Chain A
Amino acid sequence: MSRRFQGALVRIFATLVAGMLAGGGLLNAEPAGSRPVVGHLVSKAGTLFAREKPGQDWKSIAAKGEVHDGDLLVGLPGAVLTCANRAVDLTLLTDFNKNSPYPVLEAAVVLHASADHDLDFTLDRGRVDVINRKKEGAARVRIRFHDQQWEATLAEPGTRLALQLYGRWAKGVPFRKEPGSKDVPAADLLLVVRKGQVELKHGSCYCPMSAPPGPAFLHWDNSGEPEEAPQKLEKLPDWVATEQADSELAQRIKKYIERFRRQIVKSSLREAVRAFVTSEDPYERRVGVITLGALDNLEGLGEVINGTKYPDAWDLAVVVTRHWLGRCPGQDQILYQRLLDKRGLKPVQAAGILQLLHSFGDADLAQPELYKMLVKFLDNDVLGIRGLAHWHLVRLVPAGKKIGFNPLDPKDKRDKARDQWKKLIDDMLSKRELPPKPSAK
């Protein structure tokens, strides 16, 4: 065999290998560098996105692709990861049936290398399930979230644990440019043993837990109050079995998520998001806008707020931004700074937007001035301010929905709608229909 022929064979073989690797997506994966591989994607390509550091681009993990230590991973609902030794699966889920105690939009985790645990991960936000996939024996899992580190031992193969972490600014907590140590969003974690037995250790507490009927439920929050003991459940709550959700809504959400995944595989994550955000289909827009928030794409959310022609996308962008703000302390400061630096808003305008993205408390809602202020803000030159003022008004005074104020309309049209709002609010204030009587605590 001539050298020339041998060289040609080597080149063909190399091309084939490269092609196979590319088909498997491995060449698309982040170079490992010094960071160890801590898991693999089990679900289809286009269901999981990874980012090494804030500010870097997101990369779509290919099928069976590697997951590296410390990467922030955001998954489409249904994305499944397995840890390095394949002893534990981690499923990223969402609230398909809209019946969860908290309106979870997306799930995000960080996997860590650990010699002592089969799976060591940080639950950044959202809903995940942890399953012991060993053929026999217990699986050890370390669960991190906020400042907590919990140890869970999943006693036998098939043992399954559901976790849901949600954060949000509590009602009436105002935006502060210089927040104190207590100015943090409220965070809640729900833990449910779905199958089998789990030994849970957190702090000095040791909690043997088991699936219903048994001590299956634990609730943690960052209020600083003593932690609760596990509560007995007779049966699993409906919101837990999200993957079995078969309502019409759930089916539709799943269909659009699959369509989104295919679009990602076909083009790229960036292109798919762009196409969905600007789609004529409201469900595609919904998937697109939620993904913008999930991927920390504040610029994208800003573009939706400033440029979309669809009121539903505008409205959802506000909800997604509020979710984003509630994830953890400091998010509101990041947005405030961005509004100053990137959008060129005045400090008073940026602070105004942030105040409107927080909620009003009972004391505020009892003031007639609040309603007058919101009506006056309908006239604001800053789209974000007038849009958010309207966003609150229709929630506080539903009777005004029919007026149909659209912050994206031209000024003369907006002025007419604003005048109608002013008349409505003045009438209601004079008839003492506003402010509403607050409910007793």
Chain B
Amino acid sequence: MSSSILRLTPLLVVAAMAFASSPAPAQFTVAGGIAAPALLPPPIFPYGRYGGLGYGLGVGAGLGYGFGWNNWMQNPYEGYLNGAANVTTANAQYQLTIQQAKLAREEARRSALQTRRAALEERQYELSLMPDAEQLRQQQLMKSLQRSRNNPPLTEIWSATALNDLLRAIQLAHTRGVTGPAVPLSTETLKHINMTAGTTRGGVGLLRNDGKLTWPYVLRRSTFDEQRKRMDESLAKAVKAAHAGPVAAELLHDLTATQKQLERALDGWVADLTPSEFIQGSRYLRELKDSIRLLQESDVSRYFRTEWTPQGSTVAELVRQMTRQGLRFAPAVSGDESYYTSLHRSLVDYDMGLSQLTAMQPRP
């Protein structure tokens, strides 16, 4: 028997090597009495000597692999097998570690992607609340409207800023088909309201009454007699011409020159004027300059037509007229301030009525 075993030794070694190179089932690595599945192939080396023992016996004895119920000594083949099993165990452990590492890396990559997506979503979320330029403009308009509704400084009424804010709001409501209450306007008030198409800062203003100027006290002094007289004459002619069409260039040049002479004369008298007198005179001359600039427009005649002068007996009618003609309010000229304050009150009343009606409208 021993000679036959010796002859088989090389074959056994090869078999052991082949066995060792194949992946080991988990049960081989487990010690301590865990039962090996019965479906596993039997060991390639038949344990004929221990016939009937095999795995079943080892497990049945509760000792596990390699620890039989009897302390037998390992022969060389058993040592090979044991070593091969250990190698297999190490190999399996290595593979498991690699797989776990791969899983961990994959998990990390997914996490990074999620983080990036979350960051992008967060940015989108931020942007969703951030108004764009148009939204900002609308917000600004709304803020300005609120200010114009709620007791704005008088200077904003007289500069027509507050009136134009309210005008825009009313026009918007009209386009939605909402008409407010009948807020009456007096003809006298409308006579003192200036309108512009936006091409000039001021409106007809001082050119009303056929260009007959109402000079302030400070400019009625004899010092200014000459220039004042020339301005009165030239302006009357220019306004008359403006009703029909463009004003002659020579006349406009004369008006501009006279206005500048008045400015210089007023500056020359500054030492003999109180601050309020100087401001009053300067302001009037500035308004005169704006009016002369309006006369320089080629289609100046439209400013004197009925449709370009404030019309209507109610706020709604006035706004409709302005909407039709594409007009807005121009700043008040000296002496018209109180009429602007009165019109502002009427516009606020109408706007409040509109707001109430809009709130009562059923929502679609």
CA distance A351 to B271 in the complex (A): 12
B271 in contact with A381 (CB, 8 Å): yes
With a cutoff of 8 Å between Cβ atoms, the chain B residues found around residue A363 in the complex are 154-155, 158
- Residues in A with CB closer than 8 Å to B150 are 440
Least CB separation from B272: chain A residue = A348
Interface residues of A in 336-388 (CB under 8 A from B): 346, 348, 351-352, 355-356, 362-370, 372-374, 376-377, 379-381
A355 to B147, CA, bound (A): 31
Interfacial chain A residues near B279, Cβ < 8 Å: 364, 367, 369-370, 373
The residues of A that contact B273 with a CB separation of less than 8 Å are 348, 352
Q: How would residues 197 to 212 of chain A score, 1 for a CB under 8 Å from any chain B CB and 0 otherwise?
A: 0000000000000000
Contact of B282 among A352, A369, A379 (CB under 8 A): A369
Of all chain A residues, the one with the shortest Cβ separation from B273 is A348
B286 at the interface (CB under 8 A from A): yes
Complex Cα distance, B152 from A363, in Å, reads 12
- Is A355 a contact partner of B274 (Cβ separation < 8 A)? yes
Query: What separation, in Å, do the CA atoms of A439 and B154 have in the docked complex?
Result: 11
Known A-B contacts A376-B270, A376-B278, A377-B275; the reply to A369 vs B152 at CB < 8 A is no
Measured in the bound complex, the distance between the Cα atoms of B248 and A371 in whole Å is 35
Q: Please state if A174 and B156 are interface contacts (CB–CB under 8 Å).
A: no
Q: Decide yes or no: A440 and B151 within 8 Å by CB, A368-B286, A369-B282, A369-B283 being known contacts.
A: yes
Tell me if A355 and B155 are in contact (CB < 8 A): no
CB-defined interface of B128-151 with A at 8 Å, one 1/0 digit per residue? 000000000000000000010011
**In the complex, A372 Cα to B151 Cα: how many Å?**
29
Q: With an 8 A cutoff between CB atoms, is A54 at the interface?
A: no
Residue B78 lies at the interface, judged by CB distance under 8 Å to chain A: no
B148-171 residues with Cβ-Cβ distance < 8 A to A are 150-156, 158-159
Q: In the complex, A212 Cα to B330 Cα: how many Å?
A: 55
Q: Do A438 and B271 form a contact, CB below 8 Å, given A368-B286, A369-B286?
A: no
Chain B hits for A53, CB < 8 A = none
Count the B residues whose beta carbon is within 8 Å of the partner chain — how many?
A: 24
Chain B hits for A374, CB < 8 A: 275
Complex: how many Å from CA A377 to CA B277?
13
A431: which B residues are within 8 A, CB to CB? Answer: none
Chain A minimum-CB-distance residue to B282: A369
Residues of A within 8 A of B147 (CB): 440
Query: Interface 1/0s, chain A 64-97, versus B by CB < 8 A?
Result: 0000000000000000000000000000000000
* Chain B residues whose C-beta falls within 8 Å of the C-beta of A372 in the assembled complex: 282
CB-CB < 8 A to A346: which residues of B? 272
B267 / chain A contacts, CB cutoff of 8 Å: 376
| In the assembled complex, A441 has its CB within 8 A of some CB on chain B | yes
Residues of B251-288 whose CB lies within 8 A of A: 267, 270-279, 282-283, 286
Contact assessment for B274 and A351 in the assembled complex, using a CB-CB cutoff below 8 Å: yes
The verdict on A438 contacting B274 (CB below 8 Å), with A367-B279, A369-B286, A370-B279 known, is no
Distance of A364 Cα from B276 Cα, bound (Å) = 9
Is B270 a contact partner of A377 (Cβ separation < 8 A)? yes
Interface pair B153/A441, CB less than 8 Å apart: yes
CB neighbours (8 Å) of B151 from chain A are: 440-441
Name the one of A174, A380, A440 contacting B153, with C-beta atoms under 8 angstroms.
Answer: A440
Kindly provide the distance from the CB of B325 to the nearest chain A CB, expressed in whole angstroms.
27
Complexed CA–CA distance, A351 and B272 (Å): 11
A74 to chain B, nearest CB (A): 32
The answer for the CA separation of A98 and B208 in the assembled complex, in Å, is: 54
Contact of B276 among A174, A368, A381 (CB under 8 A): A174
Residue of B nearest to A440 (CB): B147
Which residues of A lie under 8 Å from residue B274 when comparing CB positions?
348, 351-352, 355
- The answer to whether B275 touches A373, judged by C-beta atoms less than 8 angstroms apart, is yes
A51 to chain B, nearest CB (A): 33
Distance A372 CA – B155 CA, assembled complex (angstroms): 18
Task: List residues of chain B with CB within 8 A of the CB of A380.
Answer: 270-271
Inter-chain contacts of A356 with B (CB < 8 A): 275
Q: Which of B270, B272, B275 has the most CB of A within 10 A?
A: B275
Across the interface, which residues of B come within 8 angstroms of A365, CB to CB?
155
What's the least CB distance linking A256 to chain B, in Å? 36
Contacts of B272 in A (CB 8 A): 346, 348
CA distance A346 to B154 in the complex (A): 34
Residues of A within 8 Å of B155, CB to CB, are 362-363, 365-366, 438
* Residues in chain A near residue B153, CB distance under 8 A: 362, 366, 438-441
- Report the Cα distance A364→B279, complex, angstroms: 8
* Contact indicator per residue, chain A 400-441, by CB within 8 Å of chain B (1) or not (0): 000000000000000000000000000000000000001111
- On chain B, the residues within 8 Å of A379 by CB distance are 270
Partner of B275, one of A355, A362, A368: A355
Q: In the assembled complex, which residues on chain A have CB atoms less than 8 Å from the CB atom of B158?
A: 363, 366
| Identity of the chain A residue whose Cβ is nearest the Cβ of B148 in the assembled complex | A440
Closest to B152 in A: A440
Starting from the known contacts A373-B275, A440-B152, 19 additional A-B residue pairs (CB-CB under 8 Å) come to A174-B276, A346-B272, A348-B272, A348-B273, A351-B274, A363-B158, A365-B155, A366-B155, A366-B158, A367-B279, A368-B286, A369-B278, A369-B279, A373-B270, A376-B278, A379-B270, A439-B153, A441-B151, A441-B152
Can you list 30 A-B pairs with a CB-CB distance of less than 8 A?
A: A348-B277, A352-B273, A352-B275, A362-B155, A363-B154, A363-B155, A363-B158, A366-B153, A366-B155, A366-B159, A368-B286, A369-B278, A369-B283, A369-B286, A370-B279, A372-B282, A374-B275, A376-B270, A377-B270, A377-B275, A379-B270, A380-B271, A381-B271, A438-B153, A439-B153, A440-B147, A440-B152, A440-B153, A441-B151, A441-B152
A interface residues with partner B (beta carbon < 8 Å): 174, 346, 348, 351-352, 355-356, 362-370, 372-374, 376-377, 379-381, 438-441
CB-based closest 5 A-B pairs: A366-B155, A369-B282, A438-B153, A352-B274, A369-B279
